[in-house]
Amino acid sequence: MRYGIIADVHGNLEALLSVLDALSGRMDRIICLGDIIGYGPNPNECCDLIKRHDIKSVAGNHEKAALGEMPIEWFNPAAACAIRWTQAELTEPNREFIKGLPLTMEFGDFAAVHGGLVSPLEEYLENIFTAVPTFNLMRTRYLFVGHTHRPLMLNYGDKKIINPGSVGQPRDGDPRAAYVTFNPESGEAILHRVDYDIQGVQEKMRKAELPAKLIERLRSGM
C-alpha cells in the first residue's frame, strides 16, 4: 500500500485541489490528520472533497471548535474570528461529517492523530523533547501528526513520528502546500511541496472579510 498523508487543509480549496492532483493515481489511500476547516474561505468544499475521495481523517481542534466542543476563547483572536465565520458557513451534512471524525486511527504499523497521543487535539510535537511522552504511548512503529503546520521527522529507538506540514496554511517559511507520501513496507516517507493559486485564495478571504493576518501569512508561509 502507498499512502498520501495530508494535514491542516484549513478551508484552502485551491491548495487541497493541487495536492490531490499531485497524488492522483499514485497512491492507494490518502489519510488526513485533521483541521480540514478553519482559517480558509471554503470549509464546505474542502469537506466535500475529503468525502468524495474517501479520505480517512481524524478530528482536529478546529473541527471541535466549530462544533462548539472546544472553547473558542482558547484560540488567538484571528483564529477565533475565523472559527465563528466557519461555524456560520458549515452545512448541516458537513457538521455531521466532522462530528463523526475519530481522534485517532490505526493502519497496521502506523497511526494518525492531529496533535499527539497525550493530547490528541492540543499537543504540539515540535522536537524530540516534546515528543517523548507520545513516543512512550505509541503502539505502532510510525505515527503521523499535524497541528504545528511544519514538516518534521523524529526518531526514537525504532519508532518514528512524522509531520507532513500543512496543505492550506504552511508555517515553515515555504508557502507551497505540503504533503508526504509513505510506504509502510519500506518505511520511506517523502516530503513534497506543490504550488497553488495563493492570490486567488487571498481574494476570496478578503471578500469573506476574514482576518488580514490570516490572509497575509499565506504569501510568506509563516
Q: Which three cell numbers stand for residue 62?
A: 478546529
Taking only the tens of pLDDT, the chain with its 222 residues reads 899 999 999 999 999 999 999 998 889 999 999 999 999 999 999 999 999 999 999 999 999 999 999 999 889 999 999 999 999 999 999 999 999 999 999 999 999 999 999 999 999 999 999 999 999 999 999 999 999 999 999 999 999 999 999 999 999 999 999 999 999 989 999 999 999 999 999 999 999 999 999 999 999 988
Domains of the chain are 3-103+165-220 (3.60.21.10)
Q: Answer yes or no: are the C-beta atoms of 147 and 8 closer than 8 Å.
A: yes
| Alpha carbons 22 and 181: distance in angstroms, whole number | 11
- The torsion region of residue 130 among left (phi > 0), alpha (psi -120 to 50) and beta comes to alpha
What's the length of the chain? 222
Q: Which amino acid, one-letter code, is at 217?
A: R
pTM: 0.95
